[in-house]
Amino acid sequence: MAPTRSLTRAVLGSRTLAALTSPHGVDRYLELVNPMWAVHEVRARVVAIERETDTANPVATVTLQPTSTWAGHRAGQHVQVGLELPGSRRFTRVFTISSAASGPGERFTLTVRANDGGTVSSYLVEQARPGQVLHLSQALGDFVLPDPVPPRLVLLSGGSGITPVMAMTRTLLRSGYDGRITFLHYAQTPAHQIYADELAALAAADNGVDVHLVHTEAGGALFTPAALADVAPDWAEVDAYACGPAGLIERVQAAYADTDRLRVEYFKTPAVATGDAEGTVAFTRSGEQSANSGATLLEQAEAAGLRPEFGCRMGICFSCTARKSEGTVRNVLTGEESSLPDEDVRVCVSAPVGDCAVEL
Amino acid sequence: MTVTPLTGTPTPPRAARTTGSPAAADQQLDPTNVAGKYGLSPADLERFGEEMDAIRKRIVADLGEEDAAYIRNVVKTQRGFEVAGRALFYLPPAWPLAVAALSISKILDNMEIGHNVMHGQYDWMGDPGLNSRMYEWDNVCPSEQWKYSHNYIHHTFTNILGKDRDIGYGVLRMDEDQKWHPYYLGNPVYAFLLMVFFEWGVAMHDLEVENIVAGKRRISDNKALHAGIMRKVRRQALKDYVLFPALTGPLFPLTLAGNATANLVRNIWAFNIIFCGHFPAGVETFTEAESEDESRGHWYFRQLLGSANITGGKLFHLMTGNLSHQIEHHLFPDLPARRYPQVAAEVREICERYGLEYNTGRLGKQLFSVAKKICRLALPDRHAPRPGTPAASDQEEPWTRSA
């Protein structure tokens, strides 16, 4: 089996086959036969979806069987997930991998909270079914543990930010880690607690992991340096990894302001439109910035002294397409607004609404 | 002032142009402009444009699963014909079938898939395999260069003499206002050669060879383009003229000939469909002056009068990549082409209300009209230039400069 498989891969991945299938490439043919066959692209089949919480914004863990092209991941990394939603539009979002480190082609899990207005996350939690195929990137991100792993760690998290530190903990325990971990997590209430059973088991076992769960809407206090010192007196001399909502991360960063022990991870969320011609337009590639004048991104870029590529200047030729990394834009032809992060827009017909960042 | 108007009435001389304040001019018709000839004021054009925008908006709001299923089905069909064509070359008696299947594959790939996907018609799906920035077609012209000359130059400056290089492709005389030169005696021959080698002509289009001959462009300007073209040519040639023939072993010459024939069939078909899009009698050309700082309404107006349709059945429309609806394509270049037949009746009704010609006809009629024009324009104009015809001789016509 294994030799046949590697021979198949060698043939499918060969330069000859690439030349024969030019200009479309081997994957464009394979996918028509079986979406789980690929030579370069990474896709995954949903194996199972299990609820973690049943709160207003429920959380579920999605188990994925990737194609053989999946190169594996390190604990703490994330992956881009492309999902075709009803209406035939594919949306791509980033989710942290919650399972322990995986090898090439191995199954892994995502733990996803159904955000308000989060089309992809809501779909994955509430509507996706086993068998469905998703489009993936390879694992990304450098929010990972160093090698060798230090003998002492503080893992701080809030809400669904528990996923990367849970992946780290699972990986360390699986590999027989003999150091000590302080695992401090903040959730709203016990009902909001993700991985409640597994965390209870971790806390009960003799494994070097001190689990501290704080439920802030059930009498628990918000994060303070003093609270951290209570559970980890040595915290200032220990490598710490934090992931969670902006409020928590700001408090944690303030506590660690005088040390270089802290590593944080946070994700961008869709912007909320703030009205017309306010805010700042950031041109991230050139580093320029200017007050939003309400004109199109192309005009504002030119006013800022940039010379972005363009063609028709009326939205028909797609020459000026650029990536908007954050913020809301209004299509000046249709009036439609779009707030998705990392979205390709035609800058000649897109005017920013409020703060906006575009890769120009 | 360009093609003899549909009504047959001669265009009034430019001297008749009214002079006055810009505000007053807005209220009046300029008979030397195409819009004035059709009796449309700027306000009329604005209303015309709003009606077109309304159609556009409605279709954009309706894009969804049907469009996605359609294009994916076409892709699947095209790949099926491609695989079948390549496989049938192993059966020598099936050679004609193999050529037919491969020809269909290449036509679908270039026209209904490639041309339309590269227009961004399916970018809204977010599928990298159907995205205008990533799609590459089965053709020697690199998609990157084609998108510049086609999506930008041709679709923005459609039928503006001196700006739209698709008027004669720098080789042919396709409009009276291109000044005649003895070189154009070869017009029918050049057209025939362009038909046979169409994909190569398309690949060389961006090099603007005519402008190099005319001394308006330096060979060094093309350096960046050469590498892209050569890379694409090598890949296409390796596949069609070396690897696939070699894979059929002793049948190498037959397969090679079959692949070349399929490319030729695609060239002839694409050339004929495309030439019916802008060159049949009655299609208007425009001057740079009248198109400068034009309104959105005038842009729509120019797209409409600069294009011509071909009538036919569903299969015919598919095989033309819906360029049989060239008018709708030019009005709405980034809407999925399968929508063009759906909006055609409405576009035509709007045209009637504004007294605008909706140029359409059977393939035979449009082809004959184009062939006639190619031959007629090979010869010098029979009558002297009309007095006051706006600067026909000043048109940026490369060949006259080079001579």
- In angstroms, how far is CA A119 from the centroid of its own chain? 14
Chain B residues in contact with A87 by the CB 8 A cut-off are 64-65
Chain A residues in contact with B138 by the CB 8 A cut-off are 23-24
**Taking a C-beta distance cutoff of 8 angstroms, is the pair A81, A135 a contact?**
yes
User: Which has the higher per-residue pLDDT, A332 or B194?
Assistant: B194
Q: Where are the alpha helices (DSSP H) in A262-335?
A: 297-303
The ipTM of this complex is 0.83
Write the pLDDT tens digit of every residue in A213-270. Answer: 999 999 999 999 999 999 999 999 999 999 998 889 999 999 999 889 999 987 655 4
A152-265 has which CATH code? 3.40.50.80
Is B92 within 8 Å of chain A by CB?
A: no
Q: Establish, for the pair of chains A and B, how many residue pairs have beta carbons separated by less than 8 Å.
A: 88
Strand partners, A158: A186
**Taking a C-beta distance cutoff of 8 angstroms, is the pair A294, A277 a contact?**
yes
CA distance A205 to A195: 15
A148: preceding bond cis by omega (within 30 degrees): yes
A185 backbone dihedrals φ, ψ, rounded to 5°: -130, 140
Interchain contact, A319 vs B151, CB within 8 Å:
yes
Interchain contact, B151 vs A311, CB within 8 Å:
yes
Which of A298, A317, A303, A311 has its CA nearest to residue A358? A298
User: What does the angle CA B324 – CA B326 – CA B328 come to, to the nearest 5 degrees?
Assistant: 110
Q: Chain B closest CA to A19's CA: distance in Å? A: 6
Interchain contact, A19 vs B333, CB within 8 Å:
no
Interchain contact, A88 vs B69, CB within 8 Å:
yes
Write the pLDDT tens digit of every residue in A131-184. Answer: 999 999 999 999 999 999 999 999 999 999 999 999 999 999 999 999 999 999
For A136, the token pair is 């993936």
What's residue B252's pLDDT?
98
For B399, the token pair is 């060949």
State the DSSP string of B49-106: HHHHHHHHHHHHHH-SHHHHHHHHHHHHHHHHHHHHHHHHTTSGGGHHHHHHHHHHHH
What's residue B28's pLDDT?
59
Mean pLDDT, range B321-335, rounded to an integer: 97
Write the pLDDT tens digit of every residue in B156-191. Answer: 999 999 999 999 998 999 999 999 999 999 999 999
**C-alpha R_g of chain A:** 23
Superfamily of domain A280-358: Beta-grasp domain (3.10.20.30)
Domain map (residue ranges) of chain A:
13-136, 152-265, 280-358
Mean pLDDT, range B363-385, rounded to an integer: 90
Number of Cβ atoms within 10 Å of the Cβ of A206: 5
Torsion sign over Cα B3, B9, B10, B14: negative
Is B20 within 8 Å of chain A by CB?
A: no
User: What does the angle CA A335 – CA B148 – CA B291 come to, to the nearest 5 degrees?
Assistant: 65
List Cα–Cα distances, B376 to A321, B175, B192, B398, in angstroms. 43, 10, 15, 20
Mean model confidence pLDDT for chain A: 92
Number of Cβ atoms within 10 Å of the Cβ of A87: 12
Residue of A32, A321, A334 lying closest to B60 (CB–CB): A334
Is A315 within 8 Å of chain B by CB?
A: yes
State the DSSP string of B162-188: TT-TTSGGGTS--STTSPP-GGGGGHH
Mean pLDDT, range B254-273, rounded to an integer: 98
Strand partners, A263: A241
Q: Chain B closest CA to A222's CA: distance in Å? A: 41
Is B238 within 8 Å of chain A by CB?
A: yes
Q: Taking the C-alpha atoms of A219, A222, A226 and A229 in order, what is their torsion angle to the nearest 10 degrees? A: 90
CA distance B133 to B319: 23
The two beta strands, A180-187 and A209-215, are parallel
Q: Amino acid letter at B12?
A: P
Which of B226, B229, B252 has its CA nearest to residue B240? B252
**Taking a C-beta distance cutoff of 8 angstroms, is the pair B355, B38 a contact?**
yes
Interchain contact, A20 vs B132, CB within 8 Å:
no
A58: preceding bond cis by omega (within 30 degrees): no
Interchain contact, B76 vs A32, CB within 8 Å:
yes
Q: Residue B11's pLDDT band (boundaries 50, 70, 90)? A: very low
Interchain contact, A318 vs B123, CB within 8 Å:
yes
Residue of A16, A29, A311 lying closest to B156 (CB–CB): A311
What's the helix, strand, coil split of chain A in %, to 5?
Answer: 25, 30, 45
Tell which of A17, A20, A22, A41 to mutate to test the B interface (max B CBs under 10 Å). A22
What's residue B393's pLDDT?
41
Interchain contact, B334 vs A316, CB within 8 Å:
yes
Judged by average pLDDT, the poorest of A124-128, A281-285, A310-314, B6-10 is B6-10
What's residue A311's pLDDT?
86
Is A334 within 8 Å of chain B by CB?
A: yes
H/E stretch holding A251 reads helix A246-255
Tell which of A17, A30, A88 to mutate to test the B interface (max B CBs under 10 Å). A88
For B107, the token pair is 């036509």
User: Which has the higher per-residue pLDDT, B202 or B400?
Assistant: B202
What's residue B257's pLDDT?
98
Q: Which of residues 43-82 of A touch B (CB under 8 A)?
A: 82
Residue of A29, A86, A311 lying closest to B152 (CB–CB): A311
Q: Amino acid letter at A101?
A: A
Chain B residues in contact with A311 by the CB 8 A cut-off are 148, 151-152, 156
CA distance A108 to A100: 8
Q: Chain B closest CA to A150's CA: distance in Å? A: 41
What's residue A9's pLDDT?
85
Q: Which of residues 221-250 of A touch B (CB under 8 A)?
A: none
User: Which has the higher per-residue pLDDT, A272 or A284?
Assistant: A284
SS3 at position B316: helix
Q: Chain B closest CA to A206's CA: distance in Å? A: 49
Q: Chain A closest CA to B368's CA: distance in Å? A: 32
Q: Residue B383's pLDDT band (boundaries 50, 70, 90)? A: low
CA distance B320 to A207: 69
Q: Residue B297's pLDDT band (boundaries 50, 70, 90)? A: very high
Which of B75, B83, B74 has its CA nearest to residue B101? B83
What's residue B13's pLDDT?
34
What's residue A5's pLDDT?
80
User: Length of chain B, please?
Assistant: 403
Which of A111, A103, A203, A202 has its CA nearest to residue A161? A111
CATH architecture of A13-136: Beta Barrel (2.40)
Q: Residue B5's pLDDT band (boundaries 50, 70, 90)? A: very low
Say what angle helices B252-278 and B95-107 make with each other, to 10 degrees.
40
**Taking a C-beta distance cutoff of 8 angstroms, is the pair B283, B290 a contact?**
no
What's residue A275's pLDDT?
54
Of all residues in chain B, the percent with pLDDT exceeding 90 is: 79
Write the pLDDT tens digit of every residue in A189-211. Answer: 999 999 999 999 999 999 999 99
Q: Residue A276's pLDDT band (boundaries 50, 70, 90)? A: low
- In the predicted structure, residue B384 carries a pLDDT above the cut 80: no
Mean pLDDT, range A1-22, rounded to an integer: 86
**Taking a C-beta distance cutoff of 8 angstroms, is the pair B205, B141 a contact?**
yes
Interchain contact, B119 vs A82, CB within 8 Å:
no
CA distance B99 to B92: 11
Interchain contact, A88 vs B333, CB within 8 Å:
no
Is B243 within 8 Å of chain A by CB?
A: yes
What's residue A267's pLDDT?
60
Tell which of B82, B127, B153, B244 to mutate to test the A interface (max A CBs under 10 Å). B127
What strands lie across the sheet with A108-113, from one edge to the other? A89-96, A78-85, A133-136, A42-53, A59-66, A108-113
CA distance A324 to A337: 13
Torsion sign over Cα B1, B7, B8, B9: negative
